[in-house]
A = this chain, B = another copy of it.
């Protein structure tokens, strides 16, 4: 089975640089093998690429793309936390928050945008526990925010 770095290349996914800490919190904290990440929003080149609520400003498909972008950003941070993307041993948990218009109840399908990318990159090691919820609003009006916990190789 190919390595995560090889699969990223096959998928044409380039991991973005990890933002430097600008506030009292940090992109990740290590605790033993656990890599605890800060929430990731769908930022691309410094700009939030998907804003507004799923079911209103964003379609299901666009919200799935937003979730995929959040997951890419999370993998970039996880790679830094683990000492390289190929040192990520397991994706433990993914919580997906979806800014949702009233009546929108397909948060699980939005979350698949993140889950499928993670599975594509990590294979069996990417099979994670998941929570998907619909929230009112997210920071910077982001459509999706994901909260990922990785296990790094010892």
Contacts and interface: CB of A to CB of B under 8 A. Distances in A.
Interface of A: 21, 23-29, 31, 34, 36-39, 90, 92-95, 97, 99-100, 102-108, 111-112, 115-116, 118-119, 126-141, 145, 147, 149, 151
Given A37-B129, A130-B38, A137-B107, A25 B94 contact: yes
A132 B137 contact: no
Total identical chains:
3
A29 B92 contact: yes
A24, A27, A100, A145 — most chain B CB neighbours (10 Å): A24
A58 B90 CA distance: 39
A95 B37 CA distance: 11
Nearest to A110: B139
Contacts of A118: 24
Which of A94, A95, A132 has the most chain B CB within a 10 Å cutoff?
A132
Contacts of A136: 100, 102, 134-136
Contacts of A23: 112, 115-116
Identify which of A36, A38, A93, A140 gathers the most chain B CB atoms within 10 Å of its CB.
Answer: A93
A92 B39 contact: no
A129 B138 CA distance: 17
Contact of A127 (B24, B105, B145): B24
29 contacts: A23-B115, A24-B118, A24-B127, A25-B127, A26-B127, A26-B128, A28-B129, A29-B92, A29-B128, A29-B129, A36-B92, A36-B93, A36-B129, A36-B149, A38-B130, A95-B147, A97-B133, A100-B136, A102-B137, A103-B137, A105-B138, A105-B140, A107-B139, A132-B139, A133-B135, A133-B138, A133-B145, A134-B138, A135-B136
